[in-house]
Amino acid sequence: MSEELDSKQPLNQPLQRTPLYAAHQRLGGKITPFAGWELPVQYSGVIAEHNAVRSAAGLFDVSHMGEIFCSGPQALDAIQALTCNDLSTIYDGKAQYNAIINPAGGVVDDIIVYRYSAERFLICVNASNADKDFTWFTKHNRWDAKFENCSAEFGQIALQGPQSVAIVSCLAPERSDLAQLKYFHFIELELAGVPVIAARTGYTGEDGYEFFVPAASTEILWNALLEGGAPLGLVPAGLGARDSLRLEACYPLHGHELGDDISAVESGLSWIVKLKKQEFTGRAVLEQHFRNGAPRTLVGFFVDDAGIARHGDRVFSSTGAFIGTVTSGTKTPTVGMAVGKALGMALVESKFAAIDTPLTLQVRDRSLKAHVTARPFYKMNR
């Protein structure tokens, strides 16, 4: 799912605070505005936190994410028609990565849908899009289904890293079902005396869990996880590490790789576009992109010169023609430092998307040489 430090801020609206704001202050977190919220960008440092997640575990406050429930006799039909993946292929207790699509094939938001039954689903949406998504669902709802925005009722904590299973096993040794929970499945249980929805999902490219918690009890679980996980290397982690981790794994971010004006095929989500299912919004455009090829393609790149490209920097071909825009870029601790190069993703004309295609990136007053590379940059052995 989607975070980055320069994510769009709602204009003329006071910043919101998660249930963990006071905990972040006590831990010395450096607070920054993000998507209308005050959240920690780092604690001990971005590189240290990034490396902790890759080698042990990190704990993230993701309480700013939105939670929308859909229920009713036609709940499945309603979500099916407004998203591009096929929810009929999953069963109770299973989650699915999906996307809300507009008539132009663009991505209103990327989401995770959790199925309780054919008549009840939890939809986790991105922080800056929660109100927009809820409005979209209700405006286009013509089924016997009800959408409820319950975002204010929940806190959310992400435990990520190779030690995640060991940490939850220490905290709840009697719950083998939690330790054995499969990827993209979820269960409900009590953890540290707190009722939670525990999902084997995440946004870092590592193993882990995301916990949906009653807002008032969020800090209880946060403290219990930090205390129980400290001997195994667990550290609190902020938005900076979350962004560098997701970029190495090439997870897209709405407003960067994803957008209302970027089709789901262009943005690399063709693997969740299921044209064989029932009719859904935006299908005609996406089908055309599959048949004839999309005009633009999301690519990964390495920067061959010294320097870092950022979101919005322009991309040119080797002959000097403007061909696209950088969507995300930085020098990451695991991959970037290992190869000695900055990396990123860019949306370019499709004819320039082949691996090893030379690129020129215009970074302020400098031109940096780069080349297209395979995505993702980092992939764990799951």
CA-derived radius of gyration, the chain: 20
Show the domains of the chain with their CATH numbers.
16-63+153-248 (3.30.1360.120), 295-373 (2.40.30.110)
| pTM for the structure as a whole | 0.94
* Secondary element (H or E) of residue 167: helix 164-171
CA distance 150 to 15: 19
Joined tokens for residue 89: 């292929």
Specify the 3-state DSSP secondary structure of 299: strand
Look up residue 83 and give its DSSP letter.
B
Nearest to 331 by CA among 248, 258, 254, 255: 248
Q: Parallel, antiparallel, or unpaired: how do β-strands 314-316 and 107-117 relate?
A: unpaired
Q: Which parts of 161-318 are beta strand (E)?
A: 186-191, 194-199, 208-214, 234-236, 296-303, 314-316
* pLDDT, tens digit only, all 382 positions of the chain: 333 454 455 556 789 999 999 999 999 999 999 989 999 999 999 999 999 999 999 999 999 999 999 999 999 999 999 999 999 999 999 999 999 999 999 999 999 999 999 999 999 999 889 999 999 999 999 999 999 999 999 999 999 999 999 999 999 999 999 999 999 999 999 999 999 999 999 999 999 999 999 999 999 999 999 999 999 999 999 999 999 999 999 999 999 999 999 999 999 999 999 999 989 999 999 999 999 999 999 999 999 999 999 999 999 999 999 999 999 999 999 997 777 899 999 999 999 999 999 999 999 999 999 999 999 999 986 5
Order of strands across the sheet that contains 120-125: 95-101, 107-117, 120-125, 66-71, 146-149
